[in-house]
Structure 1
């Protein structure tokens, strides 16, 4: 994988009972498109810190006039512990 240099716009939503949630990460003009030819397909979003790894394979690319312009990744938090992390 490769580290993305651009900072995403992040939208968070939480269920009414607070047990689950959704984070949507939107990267405009991400640098990963610059190196995608050498590295291959984008297979997921991996968030790595001292506590471990959070990952999602729900990733989509948006194209404008046939050129990549945006990546959107969704991370589902299935319990309160994942939300607190």
Structure 2
């Protein structure tokens, strides 16, 4: 038999899931709960975006960014939202 605390945690989690409106998050949670390997799978559109970006990088059309550049850009975007 499960402990009362575990039951409470499960119910709290169910309550949070019920309130989710983001379709992508629902799909992600569903994949975690139902897939054997628990691996996140990219959509066809996401794979196409990655392939296009890779092709541009390999051709020299896009030089790419360092981790510090990416991090700085993401922090800037986050701070603009706040």
Q: Name the TM-score class by shorter chain.
A: under 0.3
TM-score (norm. length: structure 2): 0.21
TM-score (norm. length: structure 1): 0.20
The structure number with the bigger radius of gyration is: 2
Higher relative contact order (CA 8 A, sep 6+): 1
**Greater fraction of residues in strand:** 1
**Greater fraction of residues in helix:** 2
